[in-house]
């Protein structure tokens, strides 16, 4: 399998080179030359196949010969070594819980997969690699956990000051050692833009071995397909494939799901569940993609005004707008509706949503009211304990914090406050 840049100005590379580089030299995102077709026997017999084998068979075509089969199987197994259950909320709506990993967020799978792939690829390298990543919430903690104390790897995480939850901030700032947090006085788009400038900076790349751990990196993005296969494995009515609602910020997760559908996984339709950052919702109405400055919401991990992975979704559909629109809807959900959804779902079903899952639930419910014969799955992407203020506002309930998280919250925060200026990041990186 070869990968090309979405900007079409960089050479084709294999999975190894795309993973190590993170972003293509022309600032585009790497995309597979062809979309593999899933073995029909995998779909037909999926209930009798282990998650480890499903993940291996799905990802093998993308990895090619860059990782031996036994190593890839081990990487997959370690990346999904926790439950990913499909939970029934009502007769029509189910929750795919992606928060049972070490940092209580869906990004654990991708971060663990990528860290192990990079570890395999770089084991014989003599110079350190610097993982540079921007986060709007959960990516930072997942990447920090995945790469913590890994020999030969330094991690620099940029996050927007005051715009992540207390638990999210603690997960990415309290580890120390090879994990370095830069608290940016701006929003996520500022952080992401600074990271992209660093990857395009020839001076920095002459001095540092840079790689990315955002979902712009294929080793973070592609393994997210596994969620969707595990959801279908647990879906009882195979004759009526579900609608899938995905809380969407930078659009990496939903893009992976659409890729899985394109490869042969039977799904009915995808919904991009967005907060007030509605760039894609507007695009689907007007065909005009106009990035905006991100606005802060209680579903903070989705506060993205320029979702970079949307270009990959366009690539999946070969820029054909009508085909895209027939497979993807989008809905922008207000904070008020998000809080009310947490409250109503808890009252009616005794199920506690986090703000991101609540946006996904609301968008799915809205879709199903217009498509009455269908059923669907929303992705619950983070544990509600990470958002105690929003949950308390909605339900009046205080969530009991797990012991490990209590210990984490008592650890010392280690971060450097910086202005959203690329020159400051460049100086920090070059000084090491």
Closest CA to 144 of 204, 185, 102: 102
- Could you say which of 2, 8, 27, 107 is catalytic? 107
Beta bridge partners of 377: 94, 244
SS3 286: helix
Pairing of strands 30-32, 328-332: unpaired
Q: CB neighbours (10 Å) of residue 202? A: 8
Taking the C-alpha atoms of residue 197 and residue 157, their distance in angstroms, rounded to an integer, is 15
DSSP line for 292-349? ------SSGGG--SS-TTHHHHHHHTTT-HHHHHHHEEEEE--HHHHHHHHHHHHHHH
107 is catalytic: yes
Taking the C-alpha atoms of residue 379 and residue 246, their distance in angstroms, rounded to an integer, is 6
Give yes or no for a contact between 38 and 265, defined as CB atoms under 8 angstroms apart: yes
With a CB cutoff of 8 Å and minimum separation 6, the contacts of 298 are 335, 338, 339, 355, 387, 389, 390
- Dihedral sign of CA atoms 24, 29, 30, 34 in order: negative
Ramachandran quadrant class, 8 (left: phi over 0; alpha: psi -120 to 50; beta: rest): left
In degrees and rounded to multiples of 5, residue 273 shows phi and psi of -90, 110
- Provide the annotated active-site residues: 107
């Amino acid at each position: 399998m070869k990968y090309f840049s979405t900007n079409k100005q960089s050479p084709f590379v294999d999975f190894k080179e795309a993973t190590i580089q993170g972003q293509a030299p022309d600032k585009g995102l790497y995309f597979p030359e062809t979309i593999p077709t899933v073995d029909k026997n995998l779909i037909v017999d999926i209930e009798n196949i282990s998650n480890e084998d499903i993940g291996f068979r799905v990802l093998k075509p993308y990895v090619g010969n860059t990782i031996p089969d036994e190593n890839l199987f081990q990487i997959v197994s370690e990346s999904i070594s926790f439950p990913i259950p499909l939970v029934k909320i009502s007769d029509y709506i189910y929750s795919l819980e992606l928060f049972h990993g070490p940092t209580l967020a869906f990004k654990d799978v991708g971060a663990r997969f990528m860290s192990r792939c990079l570890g395999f690829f770089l084991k014989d390298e003599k110079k350190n690699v610097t993982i540079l990543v921007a986060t709007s919430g959960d990516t930072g903690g997942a990447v920090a956990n995945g790469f913590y104390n890994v020999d030969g790897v330094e991690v620099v995480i940029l996050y927007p000051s005051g715009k992540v939850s207390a638990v999210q901030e603690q997960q990415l700032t309290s580890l120390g050692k090879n994990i370095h947090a830069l608290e940016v006085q701006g929003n996520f788009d500022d952080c992401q833009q600074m990271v992209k400038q660093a990857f395009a900076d020839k001076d920095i790349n002459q001095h540092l071995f840079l790689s990315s751990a955002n979902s712009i990196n294929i080793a973070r993005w592609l393994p997210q397909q596994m969620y969707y296969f595990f959801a279908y494995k647990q879906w009882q009515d195979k004759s009526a494939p579900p609608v899938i609602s995905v809380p969407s910020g930078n659009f990496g997760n939903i893009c992976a799901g659409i890729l899985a559908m394109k490869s042969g996984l039977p799904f009915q339709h995808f919904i991009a569940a967005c907060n007030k950052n509605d760039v894609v919702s507007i695009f689907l109405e007007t065909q005009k993609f106009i990035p905006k400055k991100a606005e802060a919401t209680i579903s903070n991990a989705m506060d993205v005004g320029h979702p970079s992975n949307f270009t990959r979704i366009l690539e999946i559909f070969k820029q054909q707008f009508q085909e895209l629109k027939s497979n993807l809807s989008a809905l922008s959900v207000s904070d008020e509706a998000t809080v009310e959804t947490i409250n109503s779902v808890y009252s009616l079903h005794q199920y506690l949503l986090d703000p991101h899952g609540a946006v996904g639930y609301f968008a799915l419910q809205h879709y199903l009211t217009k498509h009455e014969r269908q059923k669907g799955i929303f992705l619950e992407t983070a544990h509600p304990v990470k958002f105690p203020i929003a949950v308390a506002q909605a339900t009046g309930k205080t969530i009991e914090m797990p012991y490990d998280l209590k210990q984490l919250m008592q650890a010392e925060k280690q971060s450097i406050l910086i202005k959203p200026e690329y020159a400051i990041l460049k100086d920090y990186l070059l000084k090491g």
